[in-house]
Chains A and B, each alone.
Chain A
Amino acid sequence: MITVRFFAMLKGLAKAEVKEYNVSGPIRLEELKGMLKKDLPALAGVLDSRSILVSINQEFAAKDAVIKDGDEVGLLPPFSGG
């Protein structure tokens, strides 16, 4: 199972803070985004935006990252702390 966490404006679009997805093996980040777009069409327009960063297990992930069963993925809109 992969846990996906949504923050700030993405939480509003997804209408959820956390979603869990069952996977049969490791998947690429692109594949996960495909699953998310299907499950949450409201996110389709923003998921590929370069301003949305992705974390895997709380570390920034590259575009070609691979996600394994048990991983926690964070979808991070542009930061505005400070």
Chain B
Amino acid sequence: MRAKTAEGLVKIQEKPFSIEEAVTKVKAASKGIGAVVTFLGTARDFSKGSVITGLDFEHYPGMAEKKLKDIRERALKNFDIIEMAIVHRTGRIEIGEDIVLIAAASAHRNDAFMACEWAITELKRTTPIWKRETTKSGEVWVSETP
């Protein structure tokens, strides 16, 4: 059975997360799962023509978690998926490190693909999380999500 609450499935944390752990958690929801689609956002070394040497993420504690839980609940309601996990890191993130993970589980792959794509777009649109890029010329808050 799908978890009634987002306990352990929706997290904002400083430390690196385990992709395998998140996938195992969503798979545990049902034996009827036939597909798990994951989106992994990672820290790249360039942005708008500048070399990026590191990232810092800040979030609105409480509200950001609430928005992520809301995304999971709406995904479960609006797509034919069985479970979803969302993990976002905060604080300093080095180039190449993982930033965000979304894992959507469903009986058939198409539903999980659609829910996963929707969830990351919704996360970028509605979740109070901000990225600061470190470049050679200083640190810049990124004001718009590409």
Contact A76 B60 (CB under 8 A): yes
Contact B124 A79 (CB under 8 A): yes
Interface size bracket, B side: 20 to 34
Q: Which of A5, A51, A58, A78 has the most CB of B within 10 A?
A: A58
A12 CA to B132 CA, complexed, in Å? 12
Chain A residue at smallest Cβ distance from B128 = A76
Segment 105-146 of B: residues with Cβ below 8 Å from A: 120, 123-132, 141-145
Contact with A along B84-96 (1 / 0, CB 8 A): 0000100000000
A79 CA to B88 CA, complexed, in Å? 14
Segment 43-71 of B: residues with Cβ below 8 Å from A: 57-60, 62-64, 66
CB < 8 Å: which of A51, A79, A80 contacts B126?
A: A79
A68 CA to B128 CA, complexed, in Å? 22
Chain B interface (Cβ < 8 Å from any Cβ of A): 41, 57-60, 62-64, 66, 88, 99-100, 120, 123-132, 141-145
Chain A interface (Cβ < 8 Å from any Cβ of B): 5, 7-9, 12, 51, 55, 58-59, 74, 76-82
